[in-house]
Amino acid sequence: MAPLDPTPRLPRASSVPAARAVLTVTGPDRPGVTAHLFSALARSGGGRPAVEVLDVEQVVVHGHLVLGVVVAALPADGTTPDEETLLEHLEGLADDVSDATGMTVAVEPASEPEPAAPAGRPHHVIVLGRPVPPDAVAGAARAIAGIGGNIDAIRRLSDYPVTSFELTVSGAEATALRTALATVASSTGADIAVEQVGLARRSKRLIVLDVDSTLVRGEVIDELAARAGRAAEVARITAAAMNGELDFAESLRARVRALAGLPVEVLDEVREALVLTPGARTLIRTLQRLGFRCGIVSGGFTQITDPLAETLGLDFAAANTLEVADGRLTGGLVGDIVDRAGKARALIRFAAEYGIPLEQTVAVGDGANDLDMLNTAGLGIAFNAKPFVREQAHTALNQPYLDAVLQVLGFTRDEVLDAVP
């Protein structure tokens, strides 16, 4: 006797494919159109073939509805209606729906879809700009097609402060996709980010922000150096360090030595003069309401960053500490230096403290000393960064608004507004 097979078996499908058709409904959007169409499709009998719904896609663009429905004929009385019978039925149905709703309803045959070639998991491609030039979208579409990819869907994420569109792309390998789109971004001036489709994108739970030239405009140490009369000297060292031309720890010590003798009150003056990057408060407020842990990791100084973190209601902060004696800066530092490697260690420490896996973290920064942190995080975003940094980060943003990070994470402008208390 043959062994029992515990797996239930479905009836073998007919080798003859069922007739299929696609209905496309277009016109000014109004309540009840979708319900009316599907109610009509549900009616069968009296010579009307029963159908099953295979696929549905609906989008409303500036009040104009486009609704596509793919249906297949179901067998009845042992036979399956042919394509001619199905189309004849659907054309009559389309006339009825059009008369009742005022919409245009087109019917045409739908061929069996070709099986997709396995070429990596789907990806989201986010195109951002202020505005988005048409050649950026055209260039992205050509680049995607050029590597064998297909755009399955497009949706607008935001129209303010930047315009952004999300393209869902299948059939393209991640590295090839990023390489092809980087060329388009460079030639058109748009930002183009690539992220893999999946739960990981919306499961991010912690964000770490660099401070100087990321969370705030400018470099704090340059402001301190200006008050010490050493601005040009320190600016040269800062530029070399941010471009990766000089070891950060070495450059930091050299710059701090130039601050020796400054009265400690200067720190308060510089802190009070800080200007947040546009969109910083919106980014932090939105992510906090979504349950993110938010904090800063800086190569700057705790005398600046700790009060800033408290003002913004952040969960954590890490930075270097300037040594002070007799009310003046000594030109030295206290404790371990938060350098390039130290920033990555701080991210790991804070993620562990809150029990958040690294793949669920986001890091944002602009300088070479941020690279280890950016590449340790699940998503590293180079924000208005030097070319050296943009080339090595997961993705890059060159918009002046920090809350554009929300669109890279897949949040729409409406979702951001909903998060406002």
Given the residues 212, 339, 366, 403, the one annotated as active site = 212
Examine the residue annotation and report whether 212 is marked as an active-site residue of this protein.
yes
**Domain residues of the chain, as ranges?**
20-109, 123-197, 206-220+264-418
Q: Which CATH architecture has domain 206-220+264-418?
A: 3-Layer(aba) Sandwich (3.40)
Where is average pLDDT lowest: 118-122, 158-162, 164-168, 277-281? 118-122
> What mean pLDDT is predicted for residues 4-28?
66
Domain 123-197: give its CATH superfamily: ACT domain (3.30.70.260)
The confidence band for 196, taking pLDDT boundaries of 50, 70 and 90, is: confident
Count of beta carbons in the 10 Å neighbourhood of residue 159: 12
> What mean pLDDT is predicted for residues 88-102?
92
251-254 long-range contacts (CB < 8 A, ≥24 apart) are: 252/299, 252/320, 252/333, 252/337, 252/339, 253/333
Given the residues 82, 99, 191, 210, the one annotated as active site = 210
* pLDDT tens figures, 312-328: 999 999 999 999 999 99
For the structural domain made of 20-109, what CATH number should be given?
3.30.70.260
Distance between CA atoms of residues 197 and 261, nearest Å = 54
* pLDDT tens figures, 146-183: 999 999 889 999 998 899 999 999 999 988 999 999 99
User: Do 123-197 and 206-220+264-418 have matching folds?
Assistant: no
Examine the residue annotation and report whether 326 is marked as an active-site residue of this protein.
no
Query: Counting runs of H as helices and runs of E as strands, what totals does the chain give?
Result: 16, 15
